[in-house]
Amino acid sequence: MARISPKAGTQITSHHLKSLFWNPRWNESLFLVSCAERLMNGEEDFAREEIFRRIQREEADGGFIQFRLVFQAREGDAVQKHIVYTSPVRACEKAGAA
């Protein structure tokens, strides 16, 4: 007797199903977008600190850090970039310090 199964394109593997609910890299990206939106809505303290915390985790070399939010919009055939927020400059702690 022949076994009937869904087409290959419609099968959902457990890996794909799991990634719908648990994808740390995507969750981090969404959280940073949320922080950027909060900055634009005037909720600066929390959002700014969260963004700084994540940058420092990646770039902890003991120098200085600053970030800015750049929004891009297509206008005709060109892409326009608008700097909508620039953070204050902050000293970056060395890894392991705190």
Three-class secondary structure assignment of 52-78: HHHHHHHHCECCEECCEEEEEEEECCE
81 vs 6, which has greater pLDDT?
81
Report if residue 70 sits inside a domain.
yes
- Residue 59 within any structural domain of the chain: yes
Judged against a pLDDT cut of 60, whether residue 5 lies above it is answered with no
Paired with 84 in beta bridges are none
Per residue in 30-81, pLDDT (tens digit) is 999 999 999 999 888 999 999 999 988 887 677 888 999 999 999 999 999 9
Question: What's residue 57's pLDDT?
Answer: 85
In-domain check, residue 34: yes
Q: Which two tokens stand for residue 7?
A: 């087409």
What's at 93, amino acid-wise?
E
Secondary structure of 13-62 in HEC code, one letter for each residue: CHHHHHHHHCCHHHHHHHHHHHHHHHHHCCCHHHHHHHHHHHHHHHHCEC
Q: Which domain holds residue 58?
A: 24-91
Domain contains 69? yes
Tally of domains within the chain: 1
- Tell me if 56 is assigned to some domain: yes
Residue 41 lies in a domain: yes
Q: Let me know if residue 12 belongs to a domain.
A: no
Please report whether residue 3 resides in a domain: no
